Each structure stands twice: as structure tokens, then as C-alpha cells.
């Protein structure tokens, strides 16, 4: 699955963030802000997947340049 699913997302216990090559160099501070923000609004992510874990699901998001643009526009 590569899109947001509200039903599964309600069961997310862990998050992971990956970075698309289009993102380029970001400072650690910027990466932390983007990761926290995109996981706070996972509907904005274009590349999202869920993996079953023992206690629920793990949400993995690969952040793209377009995702970052959507984050800034949603502020």
C-alpha cells in the first residue's frame, strides 16, 4: 500500500522516515522538523507504507521535495 489509510493509521505504534534523493541536503534541525511534521499530517505524504508489527503497525514515509512543499503550504 502506498497511500494514507485512516483505519490502519489509527493503529500505528512506530514511525520511520526515509528521504528521497530529490530532498537534497537538509540540516539535522530541518530533517527533524520535516519528519515530525509529515508524521503529524501523514495525509500529505505521497509515499507512505504500513507494516504489521506485534503491537500494531509501523508507518514508513519516504519524504519527497513535493511533500515538503505541501507541509509549508499547510502552515
Q: For 9-47, what is each residue's pLDDT tens digit? A: 999 999 999 999 999 899 999 999 999 999 999 999 999
Q: Which domain holds residue 63?
A: 6-74
Q: Are the C-beta atoms of residues 34 and 68 closer than 8 Å to each other?
A: yes
- Provide the number of structural domains found in the chain: 1
Q: At what angle do helices 65-74 and 28-40 cross, to 10 degrees?
A: 70
Task: Average the pLDDT over 39-57 and give the result.
Answer: 96
Strand-by-strand arrangement of the 48-52 sheet: 12-19, 57-63, 48-52
Domain membership of residue 18 (yes or no) is: yes
In a domain, 1, yes or no: no
Confidence of residue 1 (pLDDT cuts 50, 70, 90): low
User: Domain for residue 33, yes or no?
Assistant: yes
Amino acid at each position: 500500500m502506498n497511500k494514507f489509510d485512516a483505519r490502519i493509521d489509527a493503529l500505528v505504534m512506530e514511525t520511520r522516515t526515509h528521504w528521497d534523493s530529490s530532498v537534497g541536503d537538509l540540516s539535522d534541525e530541518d530533517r527533524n522538523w520535516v519528519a515530525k511534521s509529515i508524521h503529524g499530517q501523514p495525509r500529505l505524504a505521497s509515499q507512505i507504507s504500513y507494516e504489521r508489527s506485534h503491537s500494531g503497525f509501523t508507518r514508513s514515509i519516504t519524504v519527497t521535495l513535493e511533500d515538503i512543499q505541501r507541509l509549508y503550504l499547510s502552515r
